[in-house]
Structure 1
Amino acid sequence: MPEAIDALGAVEAKMRAFVAELNNDEIEKLYHALPKGKRLRAKLVLKIAGAGDEAVKLAAVIEMIHAASLLHDDVIDDATTRRGVASLNATEGSKQAIMMGDILYSKGFEKLTDFDRTIAATVAGAVTQLSVGELMDVRLGEAFNPDVEAYMQMIYQKTAALIEATAASAAALAGKERAIYARYGRNLGLAFQIVDDILDITQSAEKLGKPAMHDLKEGKTTLPYIYLYEALDEEGKARLVALHGRELTPETRDWIRLVMEETGALRRAYLYARELGEEAVALMTSRGEEALASIVSAMIEREF
């Protein structure tokens, strides 16, 4: 555990060094205001490729790109908090947040060019997918979306593609089988997002760091809501669709939680996430990668 902590510290130091190269006090101030999060992508790189200089650098690049995507995401969603603290767009304005995101993207891509073409292309391609996923998320939010396939494609592009690329590029750096680790990363990313969507419904605002059931208010028809729609009668369907994009009352939240439990929609979504996770665990366990298997298990069972 201390080695993992030290390696993550090296990743943080590398990211700070990248930002310091810009020689701009305002950018450094904005960067230090950003919440750090769990650094899942950095942990994947370090566990797959070790904690050498190149692995630390790759982890820093990917985390910088991820941070940039979150800044843009908060502006798109008009989010006022990120991980329980005020978002940059809330404190500094959307223009500052967008430009800071652009700076982190650009610096990340600058450093990405130092890597082998296979690694650089893998990460860059995932960022393209991420951007398309953001667009699809906005489009799907224009009306209640009952299409599971459209939802899964969107979360693959917006969330899972970068995690998939993280695992694949780390495997390439370590001389391991890219396709196997890519599959692991894809499943981890999909399961991660589905569990996040479930927690948006089941957890309190205090644990989430944002209002409960914020997704539906923001127009996001996540997997539990799609499964719920499929299970409701016509009256229930109409009531659920009418709540899309609207402020929810305590009574409405209680109704959603009740019918989620009664119809088994939440359980169905969780079981699908667990199925994806179990495949990822099996892939890593068969290769003796117990630490990577544990990441999936912890993510599936997390409460916030």
Structure 2
Amino acid sequence: MQRVENEIARLIKEIDYDEVTRLFESLSGGKRLRAKLILKIASEHDEAPLLAAIIELIHAASLLHDDVIDDALTRRGIASVNATDGSKTAVMLGDILYSKAFTELVSFDPKIAKVVASSVTALSKGEMMDVKMADAFNFDESKYLDMLYLKTATLIESAAIASALLIGKDSQKYGVYGKNLGLSFQIIDDILDITSDSATLGKPAMNDFVEGKCTLPYIHLYEALSEEDKKRLSGSHAKKIDLSEEIWIKDMMNEHKCIEKSFLLAQKLSNEAMQAVKDDQALVSILETMIKRSY
């Protein structure tokens, strides 16, 4: 991972603009899940750290744009760039990181470059779908999962496929692993948005619903409610809810086991991913750690 961090620092330095360096250094690195995945799959390849650095720049760029779209003032517990330096700066920084990532990506085999580049198109499409879906209460699970795949899982999937191609491994199996890891990871995050407190999350609890995002637990809840309560739930969508409404939603979720149902899907996806790479204990361990996150 130190080699990845060194590559990231080199790429940022090559941009040759102190303002970009300052802003990038203000970002929280996060879990580096995608980079760790690449290093696990292609640990013995000399170009794996550079590929990991490229993917992390792309991920950072997408988060900068996400924060602008969502008017998010914090990211991983610290002030977002759009909060400290404005939305224009955040968008431009994201554009620079995307551009630098693609500049480096073209040095790789065309198959690898195409996989990663295509995932960025899918990611952007997923972000647009997410924004559009926030216009009204969405109770369609398949529609939500399609958006989730594009917005969140596709970059993890491409990281797994690209690193498998880099080392000559079965890219299809690793693609299944990456896709399912991405989906199950996000479903667990959706659960934690409801079950964790603000201090743990680094942002307000139940923030997804306030922002207009109907994640899986809310979709399961809607399906279980009476017509009258469905109206009550959808009426609270994309609004700042008071404590009594928050308690009602959580009580109803507990009564109808919405969190448990959502977790079962995450577990199913995780098990499928484990089966795809069952001989690779390091990748299985990543899934086991992810699925055990407390909720």
Per the TM superposition, whether the score is higher than 0.5 is yes
Q: Which letter maps to 1:97?
A: A
The aligned residue for residue 190 of structure 2 is 197
Is structure 2 residue 204 aligned with structure 1 residue 214?
no
Task: Provide Cα deviations, 1:150-185, integer angstroms capped at 9, x if missing partner.
Answer: 101100000001100000000000100000000000
Task: Provide Cα deviations, 1:247-284, integer angstroms capped at 9, x if missing partner.
Answer: 01111111111110101111111101110001111222
Map 1:282-297 → 2, pairs under 5 A:
282-285=275-278, 288-297=279-288
Q: Which letter maps to 2:145?
A: M
Q: 1:51 to 1:252 in 2, by over 3 A?
A: farther
Query: Offset of 1:126 from its aligned partner?
Result: 0.3
Task: Provide Cα deviations, 1:38-60, integer angstroms capped at 9, x if missing partner.
Answer: 00000000000005430000000
Question: 156, 166, 179: which is aligned to 1:186?
Answer: 179
SS in 2 for 1:21: helix
Distance 2:106 2:294 in 1: 38
Query: Offset of 1:301 from its aligned partner?
Result: 1.2
Distance 2:294 2:262 in 1: 15
The aligned residue for residue 3 of structure 1 is none
Q: Which letter maps to 2:282?
A: A
Q: Which letter maps to 2:289?
A: A
- Identify unmatched segments of 5+ residues in structure 1: 1-7
Question: 272, 275, 279: which is aligned to 1:279?
Answer: 272
Is structure 2 residue 253 aligned with structure 1 residue 260?
yes
Preserved contact between residue 30 and residue 76 of structure 2 (Cα < 8 Å): yes
Question: 228, 236, 244: which is aligned to 2:237?
Answer: 244
Preserved contact between residue 45 and residue 167 of structure 2 (Cα < 8 Å): no
The aligned residue for residue 4 of structure 1 is none
Task: Provide Cα deviations, 1:210-241, integer angstroms capped at 9, x if missing partner.
Answer: 00000000000111100100000111101100
- Identify unmatched segments of 5+ residues in structure 2: none
Moved more, 116-125 or 17-26: 17-26
The aligned residue for residue 95 of structure 1 is 88
Moved more, 48-57 or 187-196: 48-57
TM-score normalised over the length of structure 1: 0.96
Distance 1:11 1:53 in 2: 11
Map 1:105-184 → 2, pairs under 5 A:
105-184=98-177
The aligned residue for residue 61 of structure 1 is 54
Give the count of matched residue pairs: 295
Identity in percent: 53
Distance 1:10 1:105 in 2: 20
TM-score normalised over the length of structure 2: 0.99
CA RMSD of aligned residues (A): 0.9
Distance 2:291 2:135 in 1: 29
Task: Provide Cα deviations, 1:130-158, integer angstroms capped at 9, x if missing partner.
Answer: 00000000000000001111101100000
SS in 1 for 2:277: helix
The aligned residue for residue 5 of structure 1 is none
Q: Which letter maps to 1:12?
A: E
The aligned residue for residue 231 of structure 1 is 224
SS in 2 for 1:195: helix
Distance 1:282 1:37 in 2: 27
Distance 1:79 1:109 in 2: 26
Q: 1:34 to 1:270 in 2, by over 3 A?
A: same
Q: Which letter maps to 1:291?
A: A
Distance 1:128 1:188 in 2: 20
Q: Which letter maps to 1:39?
A: R
Distance 1:237 1:279 in 2: 33
